Amino acid sequence: MRRKTDFLVIGTGVAGLSYALKVAEHGNVVVVAKSTIDEGSTKYAQGGIAAVMYSPDTYEKHIIDTLVAGDSLCNEKIVRITITESSERVKELVEWGTRFDTNLDGTFKLGKEGGHSENRVLHRKDQTGKEIERALVEQVRTHNNITLLENHFAVDLITQHHLGIEIPPLDDKIECYGAYLMDIKTGKIETVLSKITLLATGGVGNVYESTTNPIIATGDGIAMAYRAGALIENMEFIQFHPTALYSTTEKPAFLITEALRGYGARLKNHKGEYFMKNYDERADLAPRDIVARAIDLEMKNSGKYFVWLDTTVLDKNGLIENFPGIYARCLSVGIDITKEMIPVRPTAHYSCGGIKVDEYSKTNIKNLYASGEVASTGLHGANRLASNSLLEALVFSHRAYIDSLAKFKSIYFKDDIPDWNDEGTVLNEEMILIIQSLKEVQSIMSNYVGIVRSNLRLNRALNRLELINIETEDLFNKSVLNFELCELRNVINVAYLIINMAINRKENRGLHYSIDYVK
């Protein structure tokens, strides 16, 4: 099957849907989700969205907090663009129907998280992402110009490579003509030709054993773009959220929002000490890389697999009123957070790097844009400031919209693109090969490429990954595709990028910390 569309949007989180709603006013749009429309990290966002709304907060304060958290690796121009456009983008979200918590006088209630010098996080209790996604999905479902393809898996971007023309990676002559999509229910692969393609495929958390990310977060967009010749950067900066609820079985790991520490909860070790003041003067509200490393060390020193988050000192009614999701989830596993401390540990959470884009979300591949967690805009540098990612997605999807609007009418479809060719492949009935390889990659990444790294561990990881890669490419070339095999291939691609970029960063910076370097 073949389709043609002005705009192809791969991903239905905040980045994809906010872009789709805007371009749909000007052309037809195909929007793709590999699962249901609302399944992605956006729905799980808890703390909220950082934006400058009222004094005493100022753009300048938010800019400085972002630069400090990013450990001198942010692109200051991009930081300024993102933050000065924050209030406008938040207003738009409200116009689309998002309901943030407000005070009695109608002003927004603003929470605080690690690294922020002011209260500036708009939220809907502890379920902000669910509310944002609800509002966007409602708008998208009723838009006449949008065709929604759920349970469709983007396998690869279409470029000159599919016409038999080889152009070296990173070359600015590479063009994107759309994507091959697999209907997960039938296994059939269709060709979607588009004038403009936006990758909004979210994060990479499932490269690790334990992550706050939903299972769809397998780095597909980054892997597809890399294979197509896009520039990928900063993949060594994987953010581990300091406080996921400790569990040996739960997938995804349940997040305990940093806003709870903003509200007064404090980390305690197994000796009963509030230990964060020993690591940083900002104590429990230091930037995430510092808190996650401190917890990691406390866990290693005590030999335990978690530390405690003490919520028992907080007002009981306020706790239940402001954090109903966390209260209910903890209660469901036997913890009453008004009386008992929460066992927490750091867990893979966010990819600061990704597909390199410019200030209009353009990649180095013509007619291909990227926005949201899949993109590397330069905002986060070596460590993302809490609650800056929903904001980044909105700002850069808007900028992609501005740029693509000016172009799409002068772009023509490439009609000679061949359909997907699976001649000579056979049905692979051995799912165990795929499942076991995925577990091996996740184990390698968790044990050798985690919060604390070393050159020895990184090189071990690379050697082990190489064998799994050879086996998987062999399987891929021989098999009729299924999406699990495509995901495994993507996870391997992304793991490879993380390890290589970690090996090449010969210093400690932000989220990349190696015992081999002093700074």
What is the set of active-site residues?
Answer: 288
The contact pattern for ligand FAD, residues 340-359, with x = CB under 6 A and - = no contact, is: ----------x---------
Verify binding: residue 11, ligand FAD, rule CB under 6 A: yes
Q: Which residue pairs from 91-99 have beta carbons closer than 8 angstroms and sit at least 24 positions apart in sequence?
A: 92/18, 92/394, 92/398, 93/18, 93/49, 93/132, 93/135, 93/394, 96/21, 96/135, 96/136, 96/139, 97/134, 97/135, 97/138, 97/139, 98/124, 98/131, 98/132, 98/135, 99/124, 99/131, 99/135
What residues are paired with 453 via a beta bridge? Answer: 514
Verify binding: residue 35, ligand FAD, rule CB under 6 A: yes
Instruction: For the CB of residue 333, give the shortest distance to ligand FAD in the complex, in Å.
Output: 17
* SS3 state of residue 232: strand
Instruction: For the CB of residue 448, give the shortest distance to ligand FAD in the complex, in Å.
Output: 23
Q: Which does 258 bind (CB under 5 to 8 A by kind): ligand FAD, ligand SIN, none?
A: ligand SIN
Cα gap 338→328, rounded to integer Å:
11
Cα gap 331→344, rounded to integer Å:
15
Verify binding: residue 44, ligand FAD, rule CB under 6 A: yes
Interacting residue with ligand FAD among 6, 8, 13, 364 (CB under 6 A): 13
Helical axes 14-23 vs 389-405, angle rounded to 10°: 30
Instruction: For the CB of residue 176, give the shortest distance to ligand FAD in the complex, in Å.
Output: 15
Instruction: For the CB of residue 256, give the shortest distance to ligand SIN in the complex, in Å.
Output: 8
Nearer to ligand FAD, 222 or 458 (CB): 222
Verify binding: residue 262, ligand FAD, rule CB under 6 A: no
Q: Which does 147 bind (CB under 5 to 8 A by kind): ligand FAD, ligand SIN, none?
A: none
User: Which of 498, 505, 204 shows the shortest CA–CA distance to 350?
Assistant: 204
Encoded amino acid at 345, one letter:
R
Q: Which does 514 bind (CB under 5 to 8 A by kind): ligand SIN, ligand FAD, none?
A: none
Point out which residues bind ligand SIN (CB under 6 A): 46-47, 257-259, 350, 386-387, 389
Say if residues 46 and 121 touch (Cβ distance below 8 Å).
no
User: Which of 213, 212, 314 shows the shortest CA–CA distance to 262?
Assistant: 314
Instruction: For the CB of residue 47, give the shortest distance to ligand SIN in the complex, in Å.
Output: 3
Instruction: For the CB of residue 272, give the shortest distance to ligand FAD in the complex, in Å.
Output: 29
Tell me the CB-side half-sphere exposure of residue 65, using CA atoms within 13 A: 28
Q: Which does 6 bind (CB under 5 to 8 A by kind): ligand FAD, ligand SIN, none?
A: none
Which residue, judged by CB position, is nearest to ligand SIN in the bound state?
Answer: 47
Please identify, among the stretches 9-17, 52-60, 86-94, 468-476, the one whose residues bind ligand FAD according to the rule CB under 6 A.
Answer: 9-17
Tell me the CB-side half-sphere exposure of residue 272, using CA atoms within 13 A: 0
Report how many residues bind ligand FAD under the rule CB under 6 A. Answer: 44
Which residue, judged by CB position, is nearest to ligand FAD in the bound state?
Answer: 13
Cα gap 126→328, rounded to integer Å:
11
Q: Which does 220 bind (CB under 5 to 8 A by kind): ligand FAD, ligand SIN, none?
A: ligand FAD
Nearer to ligand FAD, 9 or 307 (CB): 9
Verify binding: residue 373, ligand FAD, rule CB under 6 A: yes
Cα gap 116→126, rounded to integer Å:
18
Residue count of the chain? 519
Instruction: For the CB of residue 118, give the shortest distance to ligand FAD in the complex, in Å.
Output: 16
Which of the residues 198 through 227 are near ligand FAD (CB under 6 A)?
A: 200-203, 212-213, 216-217, 220
Return the beta strands (E) in 95-213 as ranges.
110-111, 121-122, 146-149, 152-158, 178-183, 189-199
User: Which of 127, 11, 4, 117 shows the shortest CA–CA distance to 67?
Assistant: 117
Q: Which residues bind ligand FAD (CB under 6 A)?
A: 10-16, 32-35, 39-42, 44-49, 128-129, 153-154, 200-203, 212-213, 216-217, 220, 255, 350, 372-374, 387-390, 393
